[in-house]
Structure 1
Amino acid sequence: MFTSVAGRTVVVTGGSKGIGKGIARVFATAGANVVLSGRDVVAAATTAQELDELGEGTVSFVLADAASAEDNARLARTVAERHGGVDVVCANAGIFPSAPLATMTEADIDEVLGTNVKGAILTVQAFLPALVASGRGRVILTSSITGPITGYPGWSHYGASKAAILGFMRTAAVELARDRVTVNAVLPGNVRTEGLDELGADYLNSMEAAIPMRRLGEVDEIGHAALFLASDEASYITGQALVVDGGQILPESPAALQMS
């Protein structure tokens, strides 16, 4: 039996949809007070209202751009005003526009690295005093198997950003260890999110065929991994990357899956 996180305060950037929403839903169901942030006020408000009914804690939102130091500072102040502090920061905000390397623009690179890497660093930085004050601070970063482990055409800038997240994680974990703040990352594989069905049955079938478990992950499964890393039972785990991919990175070739 894990120690309950009920009553603890959790921030989830990019929490209005996709994996961020799944993370927020798991913490809300567990009774935590969850604050979502994002750039789409309608999506954030709708998600907060939906999740607020799930647990004993509260779910609210703050309109904020993860790539802005000013917005992150305001987010940290707002969370402190609402809840007095913070225990868990899930730096999840990320974007993944496709762009082939041959035609990728400087603006494409800046946009992806700005949100995915700079955004994560600025978010953690803004909440450092509150995480230290908590005495059990947890930072959970959303990386990906793409970049640190695998590659995919059109996502070289995205892959670079997700690999960079792990470099940040390791040094941040060393710097914050004496303050009892742990820093870890989850690395999702192919996960079913909004809009995925629009890609068609053939595309979904091909994705599932590449996974030993023969199915896509669910966003809540990433949320449960984050919940574990936020638990008291994970207090001696820091600087680690947890792959949640149904075994997707394991086969050395498609033939290996056909033989299983």
Structure 2
Amino acid sequence: MKQSEKGSAIQRGLSSMAKVETADCVRPRIMGIVNVTPDSFSDGGQHSNTTAAITHARKLVAKGADILDIGGESTRPGADAISIDEECARVVPVIEGCRDLAVTISIDTRKMAVMAAAVEAGATIINDVSALEYDPESLDFAAKSGLPVCLMHSLADPKIMQDNPTYDDVVAEVLAYLRERIAVCEAAGISRDNIITDPGIGFGKTIDHNLSLLKALPEFHALGCEVLLGASRKKFIGQLTDEPVAKQRVIGSVAVALYGATAGVHILRVHDVKETRQALEIWQAIQSASF
């Protein structure tokens, strides 16, 4: 990547932190999910080759995605880790193939080497489900990159995270964890303005834990960082609606997204970009109307 291209890419990453406003109403940015994996819970295998993934990413942008979140390793419950080389081989060509789009690109990974390869290819947000804990080198890399980072709460590694997750107070414990990770990141040189927090819906949580965290979303603003919500098509939606097929949970996913919007969430990570965008536009129009 040329230095001039890298500079403009970083600027896009920073600008993605800006709010989308109409009148007095702030619309969350939509982060479209691009899983370059054979085993993700909702769309595993559909976009597992470079061409299919790039085509899907371009469709998401056409449907209204503000950010593309490109990941090459499934973090669904029970998933096994893959090698750095395999993960890079999956995500780097896709990022390069999307670099010409007028959209911010996020790399969804826990590994520093993958972060580095993705940033070199054009990614300008680092989205780590381990909150920069999985790889000891990731914190330093993220700090030196100067890019926005997303810190997510997860009770344990994806392989075992749904094995009887237990909390005394899920909201208090998730908030305390994220507060501690923010402090660690700031000590490493990452500005609070460049930190996004994610309560980690579905990552080591029961249905009741997820609902408690969703109800408490306004409390996450006290952390002083932007908030990302990733609940799209997740199991708890199927449990509440008796819908076992992830792809059939679109309506429930949009309902959660709208609840997140009313709670002031800044970024919505979703599979169904068009449906989410349409719902948000109506919500935004109503919120902005005078009476």
Q: TM-score, normalised by structure 1?
A: 0.41
Q: TM-score, normalised by structure 2?
A: 0.38
